[in-house]
Amino acid sequence: MNQVLTNPDLFTNILSYIDKKSLKSIVPSFKKWLHYDYIIPENHILLYGQVQSGKTSKIMNYIKMYKPDIVKILIIQNSINMQEQYVKTLVNQGIKYKVINTNALSSTYNNEQVLITIYNKYRMNVLMTYMMHNNITNYCLILDESDQYLDKIKTSKLFNCSKNILHVTATPFKYVNKFNVDDVIQLNPSSNYIGFDKVDIESVNLLGNADILDADTASYVVQNKIIDIIRDDFLQKDEGFMLINCFSRINKMRNVANNLSVLYNNVPIVVLSSTTYIIINGLTEQRKIRNVQKLVDSFNMYPHIVFIANKLSNRGINYTNVNYSRNISHQISIAKIPSTNNYTSFLQKCRIFGIRNAENDKPNPKIYCLITKCEQIPFVNKLKRKIENLFTYLQPTSAMPMPNVKITVKQLQQLCRENSVKGFSKLRKQELIELLRENCIDIQA
């Protein structure tokens, strides 16, 4: 009688020499033979959806449905506001969770479905200590806004010991040619989603006849443009909710808020930072705010409100009231010199985007895009093109494809000259191709 003998150690050793792609197809059939789990290849899934298009809901579904017996570790951006927002959602969904902070170290793991923490060096150390004390070695990792901290977390033990990682972001530019994923899920927004196609975008050139503005002049020009927009457009509507996020310094945000309040003393002007300043009729009140929705709700009796923010207008913060009946109608943002980082920053700060109800009888929301650089092709047009190309290039286990033609570096440089594209002289071939695509210039075969 023939007998088949198996040697798990030898089989595992053989598999360790096989490339990742082949291993992924082999392991499911032979998993029971494996003696060591480390040989099982990790699986990276990218969930890509537009800003505020419902990614959080998909994360909740993933937590409930995907390997429900395995704990999910949810990493979010470094924001207490976002943590509070997520905790509220987890409670509403009936998902058992634990926030990982210093207090968690005095407790034990009690089969929570989710361990949630914000991404910073301190919290990551606390998380690893908690996992070690509670012997948590089998887990799924969820990285919300993953492109923000991918470069750092991908070298960590937490990342490299996870077999299933879900990356979630609205701006996956890093995944195009810097980090390969095994599968890409594109979230198609609902019919009542307000995005680029349903928002009016007006470019406002701050330069006039100048090629460049010094800081003081630029600040003065921006403030005057804001005053014009509020007077000529915003206050002409029966009601409105404006977000201004074109200033990076709190003292400038407060100065502009004070000046606007003098001109429009019946309009609440709110400056969002670690301390929230509210100016109405010349009176300033300070509050410690963690829930933006409740703050918006407190101004429901005012037909117009203006919020001025910087970091608290970036990534994930919902600018609406508690029942989602009041949304941003006007936004003023700034378009800096085009680069991947600035595209990402501008897009993530488009808090005017999102799913809305009963908007059919209202005019389109409007973004005023302040331009600080003379361009042949407008900043927003380049960004739209970049977004349209994203899913084409985000193919599983492949970087951005090279063109089918044998085009030379000299030919690419000549294309840059002909189209007045600058900054190409020291770039390599693939970098030149990307630069031309960013400037909406097709490379024909």
pLDDT at 63 over 70: yes
Q: Residue 402 — φ and ψ, nearest 5°?
A: -80, 155
Nearest to 169 by CA among 265, 243, 58: 58
**Based on the structure, what is the number of domains in the chain?**
4
Q: Residue 399 — φ and ψ, nearest 5°?
A: -85, -175
How much is the pLDDT for 11?
Answer: 58
413 and 383 together in one domain: no
- Alpha helical stretches, state H, 173-298: 174-177, 215-232, 250-263, 292-297
pLDDT at 184 over 80: yes
Q: Is 170 exposed, middle or buried (0-12, 13-18, 19+ CB in 10 A)?
A: buried
How much is the pLDDT for 397?
Answer: 43
SS3 assignment, position 281: coil
How much is the pLDDT for 259?
Answer: 92
The whole-number average pLDDT for the span 347-354 is: 88
CA pair distance 121, 292, nearest whole angstrom:
26
116 and 175 together in one domain: yes
Instruction: With respect to residue 165, please indicate whether it lies within any of the assigned structural domains.
Output: yes
**pLDDT confidence bin for 440, thresholds 50/70/90:** low
pLDDT tens for 391-430 read: 677 755 433 333 444 678 888 888 878 777 777 887 888 7
Pairing state of beta strands 269-272 and 276-280?
A: antiparallel
Nearest to 354 by CA among 187, 194, 240: 194
How much is the pLDDT for 398?
Answer: 38
Last residue of a domain, one of 138, 171, 186: 186
The whole-number average pLDDT for the span 111-136 is: 94
Instruction: With respect to residue 393, please indicate whether it lies within any of the assigned structural domains.
Output: no
How much is the pLDDT for 362?
Answer: 76
pLDDT tens for 35-45 read: 455 555 678 88
The whole-number average pLDDT for the span 30-53 is: 69
How much is the pLDDT for 156?
Answer: 93
pLDDT at 117 over 90: yes
How much is the pLDDT for 403?
Answer: 40
336 and 412 together in one domain: no
220 and 321 together in one domain: yes
Lowest mean pLDDT among 11-20, 135-144, 149-158, 302-311: 11-20
Contact 97, 116 (CB under 8 A): yes
How much is the pLDDT for 275?
Answer: 87
CA 177 to chain centroid, in Å, comes to 18
How much is the pLDDT for 311?
Answer: 83
**pLDDT confidence bin for 445, thresholds 50/70/90:** very low
Residue 364 is part of a domain; what is its CATH number?
A: 3.40.50.300
Residues sharing a CB contact under 8 Å with residue 256, sequence separation 6 or more, in sequence order: 223, 226, 244, 247, 308
CA pair distance 173, 390, nearest whole angstrom:
7
320 and 371 together in one domain: yes
pLDDT at 220 over 60: yes
The residue among 440 and 80 whose pLDDT is bigger is 80
CA pair distance 349, 333, nearest whole angstrom:
8
pLDDT tens for 309-345 read: 988 887 778 888 888 889 999 999 987 766 667 788 8
224 and 321 together in one domain: yes
CA pair distance 102, 351, nearest whole angstrom:
32
272 and 172 together in one domain: no
335: amino acid identity, one letter: A
What is the strand order of the sheet 97-99 is part of?
97-99, 114-118, 71-76, 139-144, 164-169, 43-48, 183-186
Domain that holds residue 436: 402-445
223 and 362 together in one domain: yes
